[in-house]
Structure 1
């Protein structure tokens, strides 16, 4: 007789791969939109580079995966149905947002999905409020750091190169932006790429009853998760890319380099601390900060407003879907 639990485990792995794939498609823009927007790399070259850098980042460290997998909910309330509900919520919303060209935070979608699925399963006792508090504080601080970092670093570049010819400036930062884009893609994989690793390991712990897996996550989990997010990046979310690369503000190589460096630095710090943050928030805010150094009207604030709206509705939408699915699964 078939093992029903094994079937559910396979379903969760498939949904986690879907999460990584959609995440790569939507967040591909974060790593390479400015590089394409400033015309340093062709879209194809930028996507290939980002896919490999994402793969490297997703295979480096598991601190964020541990936070996702055993930090948001107390272990006794984690179940197959909770994981499935959270994954379905973020895959559905992430797919819709990518289709309509909205850069959103898949990270916050998963966090919200897990929290609300846990609420449906066990009430407020299921949620680790201390960890959620750190994540929610990062919702505010990460984009703030991205904006301020982009603004200050851009002013520094203007001052250092104030006597340089435009052609020399472009030559310097065209090469620099390739490196900053690779750094951005690497940190994206190191933070967002940990999400499918975290949820697959959650499911494996439930299936095997071996919590020690968190001390040595199987390599196949890391490879499958990294491949999923890299595949999504390779296919690319072209509508999202257009929004960040061309519609928020006009970007030249120097602006693109600064925005990517600022955002990637914030994400790298958060990854080392095990805090899941939004690559979308950090990158979008850094682009706005860079654009604001010319003048505030250089930023298309109506586009920025649409991005902000998408950020805000991600929490309740993913939470509502996850809560509904978890409540239905609880009946069975």
Structure 2
């Protein structure tokens, strides 16, 4: 009887698992209406052009800089609509944050990251993909950067409309490569760099998925399946919070605070270990007090992971704003420098007014168009609870640190979404394993029909195929579009 009750609860959970999607709050529904959203976005990109004209001054290249600022603002809007979902989606899907709360936190921390720690010096042409000297003259370079900026923005916009979280970094890389090939030929491309980027398409999501699955297995074996779950949580949750705190400390030092302080990987790891140990010790009495009076059930465990999950989402947003603002305004900064000085072969420092456009654009894009991708990442790939979402967030930070140590150019989008896939596929494997164990214990138990087994999959295959396909074609699609745009701009300019 007990086994039948367990199986009924187990199968009922699987039935409901993917059917729960969060509704956006009423306050955001008005802003999310297409006409209102597009209208606000249009006003923002126009204002970006006005600011560029006012700051840059009246020169022969003012019109070019204004158009570039408009394209940069458009790209920033698309980064906010697409990329930020990877940081906030797990917390929203786990019901640790409402959609409105997630958007407010993300907007604040994305902007803070961009304005405080962003604007670092970037290479002249997107991380050494194209040799600057092959551009021959400033005009060719400017048109190439303009084409790269517009093509990457258009591609990310299309991916958002399709509901596919893609790498904005890879979009910019593809745009620069395509424009560079159109301007200077295939020989201008650093194919070694492009090979490393292609390898990261596979390495980063697989690594993120494996790490997330490993942490979920640990939580299940050490906490969830223990007879006294609360006692186990008092032992292990402080350790897990300490691991998360230390990992994010190292992550922020490496990826989010490069402009403020320069620390190498061993130093960052040392800081992370110290902060992790201190946080572990500090959390022991906190978790003990928080767990008093809780029932010995899985639902009680979710409470203990809620605050760490919210903090991790905020820290991921800060680091993302610090790093990915350059995807929106790096080419714009290069155009500003080439237009004002004629120099396009040296490193480019991003002016503060350009960083402000990027920071505000990311925030506006998130507020106006972000909920769609947040829902996809947070609930439509696989069902997340605070424990699973914790594994996703921690995996994202660990994978970035590990990739930095290996020198791999990875995408935070690929890592976060790969971690969600890893959690979902681990749950499928674990559910099948438990059902097999039950059938061994009761040999005459009837088997589910193949159609029913497919229906109970815990990862939505349609989203999996759409997202993977979008990842694979991001660089070539952005490159092809950029090459076409460059040819058109160059023809019009001539």
Would you say same fold, with TM above 0.5? yes
Change (3 A) 1:178 1:133: same
Q: What displacement does 1:189 show? A: 2.0
Q: With a CA cutoff of 8 Å and minimum separation of 6, indicate the structure with the bigger relative contact order.
A: 1
1: CA distance between counterparts of 2:87 and 2:358? Answer: 18
Query: Aligned in 2, Cα 1:5/1:112: closer, same or farther, shift over 3 Å?
Result: same
Q: How does 1:311-330 map to 2 (within 5 A)?
A: 311-330=471-490
CA distance in 1, matches of 2:344, 2:194: 22
* Per-residue deviation, 1:179: 1.3
Find the partner of 1:99 among 161, 168, 181.
Answer: 161
Aligned length: 331
Structure 1 position 195, deviation (Å) = 0.9
2:317 corresponds to: 185
* TM-superposition CA deviations, 1:247-267 (whole Å, max 9, x none): 111111110111122123334
> Are the equivalent residues in 1 in contact too, given 2:122–2:348 (CA < 8 A)?
no
CA offsets, 1:22-71, max 9 Å, x none? Answer: 11111232111111111111100001101122123334255684386452
1:285-324, aligned counterparts within 5 Å? 285-296=418-429, 297-324=457-484
1:243 match: 376
Could you tell which deviates more after superposition, 79-88 or 182-191?
182-191
Select the residue among 104, 108, 117 that pairs with 1:48: 104
Structure 2 residue runs of 5 or longer lacking an equivalent are 1-57, 230-296, 430-456
Residues 252-283 of structure 1, C-alpha deviations (whole Å, 9 max, x = no match):
11101111221233346667999764332111
Following superposition, the deviation at residue 209 of structure 1 comes to 3.0
Give yes or no for contact 2:204–2:399 (8 Å, CA) kept in 1.
yes
Structure 2 partner of 1:232 = 365
SS at match of 1:22: helix
Secondary structure at the residue paired with 2:184?
A: helix
Q: TM-score, normalised by structure 1?
A: 0.90
Cα shift at 1:215: 6.7
Partner of 1:20: 76
Distance of aligned partners of 1:54 and 1:238 in 2 relative to their CA distance in 1, 3 Å threshold: same
* CA distance in structure 1 between the partners assigned to 2:219 and 2:414 by the alignment: 23
CA distance in 1, matches of 2:320, 2:409: 10
Further displaced range: 52-61 or 145-154: 52-61
The alpha-carbon deviation at position 213 of structure 1 amounts to: 7.6
For the residue of structure 2 that corresponds to 1:298, the secondary structure is: coil
The answer to whether the Cα contact below 8 Å between 2:147 and 2:179 also exists between their aligned partners in 1 is yes
Q: Which moved more, 1:77-86 or 1:113-122?
A: 77-86
Q: What is the CA distance between 1:20 and its match in structure 2?
A: 1.1
**C-alpha distance 64-218 of structure 1, shift in aligned 2 (>3 A):** closer
Structure 1: runs of 5+ lacking an equivalent: none
Q: Does 1:262 align with 2:395?
A: yes
Shift in Å at residue 319 of structure 1? 1.5
The structure having more radius of gyration, on CA atoms, is: 2
Which residue in the other structure is 2:129 paired with? 72
Of 139, 148, 161, which aligns to 2:201?
A: 139
Further displaced range: 5-14 or 161-170 = 161-170
Q: 2:94 aligns with which of 30, 35, 38?
A: 38
Deviation at 1:198, TM superposition (A): 1.6
CA distance in 2, matches of 1:54, 1:271: 22
Of stretches 136-145 and 204-213 in structure 1, the one that deviates more from structure 2 is: 204-213
Conservation of the 8 A alpha-carbon contact between 2:120 and 2:350: no
Match of 2:266 in 1: none
* Contact 2:333 2:349 (8 Å CA) reproduced: no
